[in-house]
Amino acid sequence: MTARGAVARRARRIRLLVTDVDGVLTDGRMVLSERGDELKFFHSRDGVAVALANRGGLRTAFVTGEKSPVAQARADKLGVGAVVLEARRKGEVLEDLCAQFGISLDASAYIGDDLLDVPALQRAGLAIAVADAPREVTEVAHFVTRARGGQGALRECVELILRAQGAWTATVEAYVTEHGGRPRRASRRTIGAFPREHGGHAP
């Protein structure tokens, strides 16, 4: 894992956030009905994270090795920019996504949890592994989340990136205001409760 200051420097460059699905957006378990229908359990805060990423100016993409109508439906509901199903060579998929969006690999972040994600993590400007990923994955990551897969890891990554870019507070306030809330008033208590966005530290 890379030092915090170096992670923040990498995060400042990110314009495309790509994530695996099973094991990152879910806890990795797959539930099949008697008819063979696939069920997945997603965390609601990761759904909000996609909205915050989009509002903060990041492009988003879901990549999965499965042919998963559930993953496609989730991405469609959240407004994810691109979805790649049945991706068995994820490093090449990341390269293709960067070309599609006109973004360099250095400006891409990839979140993974298992061996199939390693080629993409090796190429990404910011390589992120979830907390419960095996050692072979965390060893190639620049950053390892506190959250396990399916427990808000994507939200943690979006906050990491937008804080490094100095955009987290404005993005959150705009989201809250859009949904009927009031802008947060700055106070000593508020300032002390949140990490500084321009200090170059990962949350």
Low-confidence residues of the chain: pLDDT under 70:
1, 32-33, 36, 185-203
- The whole-number pLDDT of residue 37 equals 73
Domains of the chain: 4-193 (3.40.50.1000)
Q: What is the DSSP letter of 131?
A: T
Q: Other CB atoms closer than 10 Å to residue 42's CB: what's the count? A: 18
CB 123 within 8 A of CB 31: no
- The whole-number pLDDT of residue 106 equals 98
- The whole-number pLDDT of residue 35 equals 75
- The whole-number pLDDT of residue 195 equals 47
- The whole-number pLDDT of residue 186 equals 53
- The whole-number pLDDT of residue 87 equals 95
CB 110 within 8 A of CB 94: yes
Tokens found for residue 14: 């990110």
Rounded CA separation 94/118 (Å): 11
- The whole-number pLDDT of residue 200 equals 40
Rounded CA separation 121/19 (Å): 10
- The whole-number pLDDT of residue 67 equals 87
- The whole-number pLDDT of residue 196 equals 45
